[in-house]
Amino acid sequence: MPYGYNGKTLRVNLTDETLRTEEPPENWYRTYLGGMGAVAYHLLKEVPRGVDPLSPGNIFIMAPGVISGAPFSGSGRNAVGGLSPLTGGFGEADAGGYWGAELKHAGFDQIIVEGASEKPTWLWIEDGKAEIRDASKLWGLEVAECQDRMREELGDPRAKTALIGPSGENLSRLACVINDLNHVAGRSGTGAIMGSKRLKGVAVRGHNPPELADADRLRELAGRLAKQVRENPSGLSVYGTGAAMDAGAQTGNLPTRNFRDGEFWEASEIDAIAVKNKYRVGMGTCYACAVACKKEVKLETPYKVEARYGGPEYETLGAFGSDCGVSDLAAICKANELCQRYGIDTIGAGTTIAFAMECYEEGIITPEMTGGIDLRFGNAEAMLQTLELMVKREGIGDLLTEGTKRTAEKLGPDAERFAVHVKGQEFPMHEPRLKRALGLGYALSPTGADHQHNVHDTGLRGRAMERLRAFGVLEPVALESLGGEKVRIYKYVSEMRILTNCLAICNFVPWDYNQYVELLNAVTGWDTTLYELAKVAQRTLALAKIINLRSGFTAADDWLPPRMFTPQTSGALSETAVIPEELRHAIDLYYEMMGWDPQGVPRLGTLHELGIAWAEQYLPPASADRLVI
């Protein structure tokens, strides 16, 4: 019997309203683990070349990992994915909360949704049983009201939900999937996939957690970490993400006015410390987690903000704050709540508004186009008005909710030079002109610019360097380096971040790399090693790369936008920028380290070495420098 997982996949076809259960073999779980690995596997196998991401031919995958739902800190996450409506390529995002653990306890390891329904639907899953329900009366509801109605219909106030809001229904390419009201799978536009399938959400309830191979060992590991968190609480436990943003402003690492400027004097007025002092009413957590890093804020004036929608994370504080030139913390909290209510990515929405603000100040977007909204940097009311239009697809919001890349293409070449994205996905709130390897990661990420499966150069010290000893990295590397030694570190760290997305465990919990192995073996009874787990990450990256190649991406898309090659207008980075030749050399080195050819195509020998020779058939024909084996 399997330990830690159920051995069951729920496959749902919304076109013909059928459900069936599949049982992948144990070796499938050990090869892909779940999470991001499962998304990459199914997406490559099941979605042909040329499929429109918003058509019934796309699939939607919801996948915890093999150890999700086991009783230890960090195990509450799950991945969602499909062909991205935002980029057109590999799409994947991750969320915490309780939903992923609940799905495992309800008897399934993953859900694959095919086709599309003619009418709004939702799924109800409980203890190994599933049914498709009519969502006609739920369609159009904001996220919290939808959850309330679902629970009322079920008669179960503890059912866990993964939902889209009106933004997903309206096919915003920035739409996201929200677990439990305030845990968000934000990137890649996956909420629009659900919307295109007329799937409002999935509610789950489970009472039967999978059996553990070594419960005593897992209990000992979990207890040791929980004690460590209690006795030495991190900033995450005290403030959540986004404390001391003034330090980022001083180093140039706080994106300001669409990544143009380098100084934001009001940074301390919008950081997590200010949130705690002014508006925070509690700290939430995820399944079985001792860290408890989730802010909960409540306001009555000047805006009404409900605590059950959580509070702004660092990315949100930056995207709607400094990147828009806004120092009004109440307005930022309201922007966060609107995104949660309507189901839209705070990073994508905030960065797109910042881009629109610069276009407005440059005369590319006119007052006539905004309906009279004075969309200048720093105008908090204009930011909120524009966000309202985006989530409802009204006025100029109908264009902006398509994301920065498509908006820029519509506005023309003058606007495209201000568009800060990779592969169509907007930048998170971290600066490549300071963090050179992070910029490399933005360029190479299969989902477009992403900070989670990435390395942060400024964090390569202390415990982070100690963890890298497991890969033979014994010496520190200069912050400004983008040479071979930094590329090597990027490769190792990003693979471990990809691994956490396959395991579906949280990066914020202080497990070290070797403890990933201990956790996995204690839960499953396997005899895995760190080497084997690194191969899972490499395998996932190769499959994601092939999906992008099949979608029409080339090596030219593994690149940064023009803004990164010029300095900020002021501050610490006013005389520095990404050097194109250095970035090109680093990308070429990375391709070689990964066993990919000079065009970024995984070589046949690499596919064999990773145990995925079956993926050769999906490589673009003109790219193959193939040997007959």
Say how far apart CA 258 and CA 271 lie, in whole Å.
18
Which pLDDT does position 233 carry in this prediction? 78
For the ranges 38-42, 242-246, 354-358, 486-490, which has the lowest average pLDDT? Answer: 242-246
Complete domains list, the chain, with CATH: 9-205 (3.60.9.10), 233-426 (1.10.569.10), 436-623 (1.10.599.10)
Torsion angle, alpha carbons of 31, 35, 38, 39, to 10: -150
Over 60: is that where the pLDDT of 623 sits?
A: no
Positions of E strands within 391-493: 421-422, 425-426
Mean pLDDT of 206-219: 98
Amino acid 626: pLDDT: 42
User: Which 8-state DSSP code applies to residue 393?
Assistant: T
pTM (predicted TM-score): 0.97
Tens-digit pLDDT profile for residues 411-429: 999 999 999 999 999 999 9
Average pLDDT over residues 43-57: 97
d(CA 45, CA 618): 9
Q: How far apart are CA 212 and CA 207, in angstroms?
A: 15
Which structure tokens are listed for 76?
Answer: 């509450």
Tens-place pLDDT, residues 128-138: 999 999 999 99
Rounded distance between C-alpha atoms, residue 39 and residue 80, angstroms? 7
Going from the C-alpha of 57 to that of each of 36, 50, 205, 347, 521, the distances in angstroms are: 20, 10, 29, 28, 37
- Reported confidence tier of residue 1, pLDDT bands at 50, 70, 90: confident
* Chain mean position to CA 518: 26
Six token digits for residue 509: 């919990």
Which residues lie across from 185 on neighbouring strands? Answer: 177
Tell which residue, 585, 617, 616, has the closest CA to residue 598. Answer: 585
Rg, the chain, Cα only: 23
Residue from 27, 28, 29, 21 nearest 4 by CA: 29
pLDDT, position 615 = 98
CA gap 12, 151 in Å, rounded: 22
Q: Is the pLDDT higher at 124 or at 234?
A: 124
Residue 191 has pLDDT above 90, yes or no: yes
Q: Is 122 helix (H, G, I), strand (E, B) or coil?
A: strand
Residue (of 497, 483, 406, 420) closest to 451 by Cα position: 497
User: What tokens appear for 75 in the block?
Assistant: 């195990």
Q: Which of 628, 446, 626, 441 is nearest to 539 (CA)?
A: 446
Please tell me the distance from the alpha carbon of residue 38 to that of residue 92, in angstroms, as a whole number: 10
229 confidence band (pLDDT: 50, 70, 90): confident
Residue-wise pLDDT for 563-591, tens only, equals: 999 999 999 999 999 999 999 999 999 99
Tens of pLDDT along 152-186?
999 999 999 999 999 999 999 999 999 999 999 99
Residue pair 4/34 in contact (Cβ under 8 Å)? The answer is: no
Cα gap 76→62, rounded to integer Å: 13
Residue 298, pLDDT > 90, answer yes
Is the pLDDT assigned to residue 629 strictly greater than 70?
Answer: no
Is pLDDT above 50 for 217? yes
pLDDT band at 234 (very low <50, low <70, confident <90, very high): confident
Q: In 259-291, which positions are buried (b, 16+ CB within 10 angstroms) versus exposed (e)?
A: bbbbbbebbebbbbbbbbeebbeebbbbbbbbb
pLDDT tens-digit readout, 488-524: 999 999 999 999 999 999 999 999 999 999 999 999 9
Percentage of the residues of the chain whose pLDDT score is greater than 70: 99
Q: What's the whole-number mean pLDDT along residues 222-241?
A: 89
The predicted structure's pLDDT at residue 109:
98
Report the 10 Å Cβ neighbour count for 581: 7
pLDDT value of position 463: 86
Quick one: average pLDDT of 4-30? 98
**E-strand stretches of 246-357:** 280-284, 294-297
- Nearest Cα residue to 489 out of 441, 522, 546, 525: 441
Q: Which amino acid is at 265?
A: W
pLDDT of residue 622: 64
Structure tokens at 301: 């004036």
| Alpha helix stretches (DSSP H) within 300-432 | 314-320, 329-342, 346-361, 367-370, 380-392, 397-400, 404-411, 413-416
H-run or E-run covering 485: helix 484-503
Bridge partners for 62 per DSSP: 80, 111
How would residue 228 be classed by pLDDT, with cut points 50, 70 and 90?
A: confident
CA–CA distance, 410 with 406 (Å, rounded to integer): 6
Chain-centroid distance, C-alpha 174:
12
How far apart CA 248 and CA 180 sit, in angstroms, is: 31
pLDDT > 60? residue 627: no
**Averaged pLDDT for residues 327-336:** 98
Q: How many CA atoms lie within 13 A of 490 on its CB side?
A: 31
